[in-house]
Amino acid sequence: MPKSISIQDGMFLLDGKPFFIYSGEVQYFRLKRADWKNVLIKAKNANLNTVASYIPWCWHEREEGIFDFIGKNLAETDLIEFLETIKKLGLYFFARIGPISNAELINEGLPKWLVEKYPQVILRRKDGTISYNPAISSYLHPDYQRFARRWYDNILPIIERYQIKNGGPIVLLQLCNEIGMLNWISKQPDYNKNTTQLYREYLREKYKDIKTLNEIYKKNFYDFSKISQPNSNIKEDNFQIHLDQAYFYRDYLSRYFNMLNTNLKSCNINLPIVANIPQFLDYDLCGRAYQGITTTTMFRDFKKRIKNIIFGGAYQTRRCDFENFHDIVIMNEMIKNISDDEAPKICAEMQFGGWQDRPRIYPKDVELPIKLSIAHGLNGINGYVFAGGRNSKGLAFRGTYNEWQAPVDSKGNLKSHLKPISNAGLFLNTFGSLLEKTKNVYDDISIGFYQPYYATEIANGNFVNE
């Protein structure tokens, strides 16, 4: 088995040779342990070279301070056995370790004890009340960071042990999941006192003295310590106030990701690091990336703190046709725009199914996004999800079955849209190393997106909507 994964000139290199990562999501925590091998064999037979999964915090620390990665109390928590099975089958693994997983899990994958015993880690509204979703985290609250570090202290040694350079299957590592997504969906800034203090410090660093800020804001603050975060209902005459708040949150999210990345230094981990980005929303039968420009720019400051982050889009087009296929092309370019030149670009969640039963996903709805992404220069794809499963009691908020219209359903049956997935894998197995070396050729015509117009993820009001 190869011994190294690296990046160079926008490519993945496996033992120094160009490598296209073609992955499918196999969520071990939604499958019976006895079924893991059979599902992984189906992934390999579908010409995938990699499988991925969230590693949910809530699954492995059900009681505070008690971690289980070996199936001591529940067979399906045996992460070690899952990794060993992947290795034996000659597959690679894309580890998505949280702290937050989302994945339709209760509390977004945070442990129940955390949100119940330590409510200070939860985002606050303007009036100080807890968010409608008790798992929208206050990312930089000291207590949230303390528990997140402890989770990393327990999961990272396993990642280190099973990374490819130590003979394991792990080739990619994702930190957290769709950072800021719930803030965007709910249009909700974090008014936690700790976050507001960070906001004041951000303004002090930018404006240096309060007089300059007052002149621009047309305010009369005595000191930076007297400034509160504005509400999200913006008007034309206070646009700079809103813009500063939006740019603060871009910096805030990058600080959070950097905090998570800093924890890797305690282990000898040498893996490409992934940040995945929410981009598509459902509009009737189609998923569209109307707000994907906004969400992608939310990650623009990450590379200021960490070099060569691999940004991964999430292409959930549902019915893919002339209405929306071009959104994939635009999102590819947006990812390239915020990436370092050296870093490969991937889709961390390519549509292999759909989270609702409607619209029905047909083979062409899977085939076209895969082909478009390959043709427009992506270096890796993780299909979401490859296999359906079942939720144990208290795990998720969408009932017992987690089918996702996956190409392999929860009973192991194969769906018709597995065929284009397998065909693409055969193509990539044959030509993937050559594709990695290719570069996009651009015309002289450019399309520009003015970032301030898209800094609207937490903004409300007629000025934004019009």
| Residue with the larger pLDDT of the pair 448 and 259 | 259
Q: How far is CA 81 from CA 71, 150, 357, in A?
A: 9, 23, 32
Tokens at residue 298, please? 């939310």
Which is nearest to 294 in space by CA: 457, 94, 438? Answer: 457
- pLDDT band at 355, cuts 50/70/90? confident
Comparing 256-270, 295-309, 430-444, the range with the smallest average pLDDT is 430-444
Mean pLDDT of the chain: 95
Q: What pLDDT is recorded for position 285?
A: 87
Is the pLDDT confidence value at 236 over 80? no
Radius of gyration, alpha carbons of the chain? 22
- pLDDT band at 414, cuts 50/70/90? very high
E strand or H helix at 148: helix 142-162
- Give all domains of the chain, ordered by start, each with its CATH number: 5-187+269-465 (3.20.20.80)
3-state helix, strand, coil in the chain (%, to 5): 40, 15, 40
Is the pLDDT confidence value at 134 over 80? no
Q: What pLDDT is recorded for position 216?
A: 95
Instruction: Say if CB 21 and CB 92 are below 8 A apart.
Output: yes
Instruction: State the burial class of residue 7 (Cβ atoms within 10 Å of its Cβ: 0-12, 13-18, 19+).
Output: middle
Task: List pLDDT tens digits, range 212-233.
Answer: 999 999 999 999 999 999 988 8
∠ CA 278-340-145, nearest 5°, is: 55
Q: What pLDDT is recorded for position 289?
A: 95
Cis peptide bond N-terminal to 142, omega within 30: no
| Residue with the larger pLDDT of the pair 241 and 235 | 241
Q: What pLDDT is recorded for position 341?
A: 94
